[in-house]
Amino acid sequence: MKLPRAIRIAALPLVLLCQIVAAQEITVAAAADLQSAMQELAARFQKDTGKNVRVIYGSSGNFFQQIQNGAPFDMFFSANLDYPKKLEAAGMTQPGTYYQYARGKIVVWVPKDSKIDVSTGLKAVLDPMVKKIAVANPLHAPYGQAAVAAMQKEAIYEKAKEKFVLGENISQTASFVASGSADIGIIALSLAMSPNMKDTGRYTEIPKTEYPPIDQACVILSSSKNKELSQQFLSYVKSATVSDLLASYGFDVSNRTGK
């Protein structure tokens, strides 16, 4: 049934409003280690520009698969370089948008009331009091891969692996140990320094020589419906202000580069 002309005209402003709202927002797939930092970053961006960044957090490997299968994200912030590079090689990213924004770090973390001594670093996971060790799933989480590499480097992996409680991403891994579901966890420094965790636990940073660099990069996806706003957000991420913000959450920003 055809609508009367007056109703069709009245509906036009609503259609235009929906289009304007869509143009004011992008959806970002972000590695879970960015959760607190990205919340602050997105809030600052919205305050400065009036534009909204909707962020979904998870493991980089899972996002990589979802993007390959057509997930409607505008940008992808990965906790390693491989996934954005593979998407770029497959022609699934906007040319020239690959950007290395930070390098992550891992720590051994326990709740504040734990009797486990984390000052020994990774060897703390061998403490007899440790029954469960929270680790991100190394099959798709870069922080899990770093944790395994560090334990192998220190020759404690075989003794520790039977006690693993695997998180789907580093945020879930952190929640396991924070909630008491695990006795100790190998988590991102950025989460240990987050508002939710910085006053509730103790940690020791694992030397960066113990594991491959957790270099992180972002890209604008070629399937983005709002490339202009995505580019605006990327430029914001490259700013000195954001560099300082990421550093305040424990990220190494000394190697921020385009390519």
> 93-102, pLDDT tens digit by residue?
999 999 999 9
Structure tokens at 238: 């490259």
**pLDDT, average across residues 109-114:** 96
CATH code where residue 230 lies: 3.40.190.10
Q: Are residues 72 and 122 in the same domain?
A: no
Q: Are residues 134 and 193 in the same domain?
A: yes
Residue 17 in this model has a pLDDT that exceeds 90: no
Strands 75-78 and 214-220: antiparallel
The per-residue pLDDT for 6 is 52
Q: Are residues 114 and 197 in the same domain?
A: yes
Whether 13 is covered by a domain: the verdict is yes
Whether 258 is covered by a domain: the verdict is no
Strands 106-111 and 184-188: antiparallel
Please check whether residue 74 is in contact with residue 65, taking contact to mean a CB–CB distance below 8 angstroms.
no
Q: Are residues 201 and 222 in the same domain?
A: no
Please check whether residue 192 is in contact with residue 203, taking contact to mean a CB–CB distance below 8 angstroms.
yes
Provide the percentage of residues in the chain whose pLDDT is more than 90: 88
**pLDDT, average across residues 51-58:** 96
Which structural domain, as residue segments, surrounds residue 232?
A: 5-103+216-248
Q: Are residues 166 and 79 in the same domain?
A: no
Whether 37 is covered by a domain: the verdict is yes
Whether 259 is covered by a domain: the verdict is no
Residue 18 in this model has a pLDDT that exceeds 60: no
Whether 23 is covered by a domain: the verdict is yes
Q: Is the dihedral of CA 17, 22, 23, 24 positive or negative?
A: positive
Q: Are residues 140 and 196 in the same domain?
A: yes
> 23-53, pLDDT tens digit by residue?
689 999 999 999 999 999 999 999 999 999 9
Domain count, the chain: 2
3-state class (DSSP) for residue 123:
helix
DSSP string computed for 29-68: EEEGGGHHHHHHHHHHHHHHHS-EEEEEEE-HHHHHHHHH
Q: Are residues 38 and 115 in the same domain?
A: no
Prediction pTM value:
0.86
224 Cβ contact partners less than 8 Å away, ≥ 6 residues apart: 26, 73, 74, 75, 94, 230
Q: Are residues 195 and 125 in the same domain?
A: yes
Angle between helices 170-179 and 142-153 in degrees, nearest 10? 70
Residue 219 in this model has a pLDDT that exceeds 80: yes
